Each structure stands twice: as structure tokens, then as C-alpha cells.
Amino acid sequence: MITFNDACTIVQQPTGLGEPVLQDKKHTLERQYPHPQGDRLQYWCSTAPGAFTLPNGTKSGIMILPDGSKRVIPTNTSLTILLDQIAKHTIKKYEEKAANLYIVAGRGVKNRPPWESVSRKEWFNVYHINGIESPQWKQEEISWENLLYYYERDDGFKVHLCGTCNYFGEELDLDTMYEAWRPLEEKLQQAFNTRYPVLLSTPAKTGKELLLISLPKGKQYRKLPDDILDLITHNFGQGRIETFPPLLVLVLDNGVYILDARWMYASCISNLPTGPCYRDKQNEFLGVRRKDGKLARDAMPGFYNVTAQVPEDWQHIGLLKSGSAKEVIDESGYYPNTPGETFTNWTTSAELANAINHGWGKYIHINERIFWPYQDSDPLAPWRRILVNLRAEIEQELEKYPNDKVLELHKNALRSILLHTIGSFHRHMDKVDGFTPFKDLPLPPEIKVYSNIASARGVDWKGLVPLPEKKQRFIHPEWSATVWGRARASLAEVALSLPREYIVSLRTDSIWCASPPEIEDTGKPGCFRVKEYIPGPWEWPKSGAEMRRFVIKHNLEKGDSTELEAEELDKEE
């Protein structure tokens, strides 16, 4: 075991800088004054049995119209009929040709329509038997996992269908969600000092609209060149999910504890990459030391391609992700922790700083780096401050009224707005699921299909489509990747405070462990606390796949797992 002769050095200012990379002036994100949105008319609908009870005791579904009035609908109403009814009512009463439909649905396997059918996904496909009905609908874009669908009829009428799970999680009470909607918008309007509508059809749209009106004045954030965009989007994913083999016991008689971070991403979005971007091959890490001598997590954001060697005396979790794994695993990657193992991969400045802080510095060589040494602003600071303060106010209200479901929904919605907005920065293509009847084939050439399955009436497909021109200014994967890297670094830092033999699994922003640590719950974003305890005896999972199956089953019992996860679990079993 030897250290690198040319290990990286740590500097606070870069040396030998060349020219910054040329950024895309055409797609620039900058502050806008609040303006009328013209968001579509809203319909709210639940087809769940028992959503509404008629005087004779019959269980029925219910629809809330744009004026707040209610209409009873049969629970077996098909989506095609539902869309036709919405189009007819909108055109006749409002003379409009577009509407939003909020359909009551959770992410859980049992919480999506049609409620008494195993073929839930097919319910969202629109088609007309024998083609006898006219005009006909077609699906434009679909995301089954997030339950976001776009439909357009032959006469040009459009409906954007959104699952309520995007804002409100597993809540299924239509009246409560409808009651929560308008007060939530009023709170956001007051917090962001605007009188115009800001609560849009999806959390990401809402978050980006709020960001536009709160960005620092006079600052511009240009899109990176395509080669760097591709590098970041292909090398930096979201959470770290890793399960560790048992070192002492196979069964935890006292059970397992789940440590969870409060609103982790809200603690990771300050000082994001801005200003001129540089790319070179200097073997230098740009870092700023705190008062305690450790490198700061959030200073000098950047991405580094490194060759690293696990230190010879290392006896804990891995700190940097390898570009390849020793074996086929079903989790998010491989973090080497065997002393002497050498690997090469891209990592974030936050994770690299954490590794150096724990003695890995002399075992790391930097091959290439992409970095922002001269940050000219803090783009998300006002946006973050307002959302965090607003959520804190809601939490204070919840302390007074702990059973107030509307306040709880407001709290969940703010979390969704922040998380979905951060995730949207990583998109430079739209990943869509689609269903196309045979008569409408072939698909347009701009759709890059990577999977398709023929059914009785058409083709179910998955593909990538380019983002519309208007959305391109929001392509900033350097922001999302930085946030995710900081979250992984924070996760690793807390895990390092635990004995290695106590750690069962790391799962994005939570740690499953055999003994509760002594940690302080400050209540602030990013702090860890014991959120859940599963009594023993609890068998230590033999693999990542076994751990994943347990987590899905556990979440299903709480109603938290997604339909997609449940379907995969069924296939495995």
C-alpha cells in the first residue's frame, strides 16, 4: 500500500486558469416581474368508491367543477368519458379549449384509479371502441410514475391530468385537498409578494414560477455547453442507496432504527455554481477551510474526475463512488471501502471535501475538473429563504393544531415544490411513457423510443423527447447535481459518526442502523433524527435486493410505495 506521489493539493484560489467555457447566451435564466399566468380551468375528481354517498346509500364518485360546484359521477366512469364531459362543460360555459384535471391518486399501489381493477395503468390510456365516437383523444406526453398526462382531442381541446400525489402524497380526501388548495396559493402569494396565480399544475412548474420572480436582480444564468451538460447528467444521479453486510450478528434482536434528515435538499441549495465556468486538468482541489480546519462542504462548487485509493487503515463506509462495481447490484452504485482498492470516477466538490477531511487526501489524484471559482450571486437564496420560513410558520401552526389536515397538506406541498424544482434542473430531455393506437403509427421522429410493447389496441412505449424551447433556460444540471452531492456528503458524514458494524443501509437521506445514535434534532433542514423504529427480532438483509424488497413491503404497509415499485416487487416474487 503506497500513497500517490502526485496527490492533489488544496488551494483557495485557482492557478494557471485558461479561458472560461463558452455558455449558451440564447437560453438565459433571469428574474422576471410577476405576471398573469392564465393557468387553465381546474376540475377535481375522485372515482374512488365512497368518495360521495347518495341519499339512498349508493357509493359514487365526485367531480368539483371550476366554480366549486359538485357533480356526482359513477365510480366506473372511464377516463375517455370523463375527458369528454370536461371538454363539453368547459366549451359550453367558459368558451375555453383547455383545462386541468386533478385526479385523486396516491403513489401507493392501492391508491390509484380504477380502484377495483389490477389494470390501473391502462385506465389512463384513451381510445374509442370501433372508432364510433368522435372527436377522439390522443395522448401527447405521459409520466406514469409521477401521474402526469397530457391529452388532446381532434378538435384541439387539451387536458392536463395531474395526480394529486404530486402535491399531497397519499392523501385521498378530495374535499380536504380542494380546501387546502386556495389557502396554499394565498400563502405563497403573500410570501413571494405577488397577486398573480402562482400555484400551477405541477410542483415543478410552481417552483420555477416562484424562482423566476425571486432570482437576484440583474443576474443572468446561462445554460452550459452540450458536452458539459451531457457529462453532468450522465455521471451524477440523485441518492446514495447502499446496503452493508453484517459484521457481528445476522439478527438484530433489538430491532432497527431509521434516521432521517429533515428536508435535506433545503439545506443544500445555497451557493450553487454561478459565474464563469472553467474546465481543465489541474491536480488542485479548490477548497475553503472552516475555523475547525476542515474543508467547507459548500464552498467552491465543482465536479472532479479523480483516481482514488482507499486508505490502508480505512475501516468504514466508502466515501467516493466508483465508476464500476465488483458485482451486479440493484442499487445506486458502488462505493469502495476495501483498503488499497483503486478506482476512477467523477465526484462532486462536497463529496471530495468530505473524503479529504477524513484522511483520503494523499490517496487522491485529480484528472480533470469543472469548476466555478468566482461565484457572482446566490441564485436560489431568496427562493429558499421564503420557502423555508413559510414551512416553519406552518410547522408552528401545526404545534397549536396538530390534527389540522390542511396545514399538514400545506407542509407536504412545500416540500414537493422544492424537491420537484431541484429535480427539474437536471432534465435536458423529457422522459415520457406513451400509448399510441395502431392507426396513429409511426411515431414522430423526434421521439427517441427505447422501449415498446404492442397491446391489443396499440403500442405502449417509453422514449425521450427534446425539451420545448421555453423550458431550455431551466436546464441547469450543475445545480441539481451539486445539491444531490451535498446531500450524499451529509449522509456520509452522519454515517461516519456511527460504528460501521451498526450500519445496515444508506438510503438517500436516511440511515438504517442497529442502535440509536446520540444526535440533536434541531428541527432545521438537513438535521437527522430518529424518525422510525422497527422492533426486533429483525433479520439483517443478505443483499441490496433483499433490503429493497423489505423497504417496499414496509412502505406499502404505510401506503408510501409507488405503483411502479409494487409492480416490480410482484414480478420478483
Rounded to whole angstroms, what are the CA distances from 437 to 118, 129, 271, 455, 517?
22, 11, 48, 9, 56
Q: For every one of its 573 residues, what pLDDT tens digit does the chain have, with 9 covering 90 and above? A: 556 678 999 999 888 889 999 998 899 999 998 777 666 899 999 988 767 776 776 778 899 999 999 999 988 888 889 999 999 999 999 999 999 999 999 887 678 887 665 567 778 877 655 455 457 888 776 677 788 999 999 899 999 999 999 999 989 999 999 999 999 999 999 999 999 989 998 999 999 999 999 999 999 999 999 999 999 999 999 989 999 999 989 999 999 999 999 999 999 999 999 999 999 999 999 999 999 999 999 989 999 999 999 999 999 999 999 977 655 454 567 899 999 999 999 999 999 999 999 999 999 999 999 999 998 899 999 999 999 999 999 999 999 999 999 999 999 999 999 999 999 999 877 777 778 888 888 888 878 888 888 877 788 888 888 788 888 999 999 999 999 999 999 999 999 999 999 999 999 999 999 988 888 889 899 999 999 999 999 999 998 889 999 998 888 777 554 544 444 444 444
Residue recorded with cell 450571486: 377
User: What is the Cα–Cα distance from 300 to 349, expressed in whole angstroms?
Assistant: 7
User: What is the Cα–Cα distance from 121 to 377, expressed in whole angstroms?
Assistant: 44
Domain ranges of the chain: 40-171
- Closest residue by Cα to residue 304 from 240, 353, 377: 353
User: What is the Cα–Cα distance from 195 to 198, expressed in whole angstroms?
Assistant: 9
Q: State the cell numbers at 131.
A: 372508432
Rounded to whole angstroms, what are the CA distances from 404 to 180, 199, 287, 409, 464?
11, 21, 46, 9, 41
- Closest residue by Cα to residue 104 from 57, 144, 46: 46
User: Helices (H) and strands (E) in the chain — how many of each?
Assistant: 12, 26
79: left (phi over 0), alpha (psi -120 to 50) or beta: alpha
User: What is the Cα–Cα distance from 81 to 89, expressed in whole angstroms?
Assistant: 12
Q: Which residues of 328-360 are buried (b: 16+ CB within 10 A; e: fewer)?
A: eeebbbbbbbeeeeebebbbbbbbbbbbbbbeb
User: What is the Cα–Cα distance from 483 to 419, expressed in whole angstroms?
Assistant: 10
Cα–chain-centroid distance for residue 268?
A: 14
User: What is the Cα–Cα distance from 438 to 455, expressed in whole angstroms?
Assistant: 10
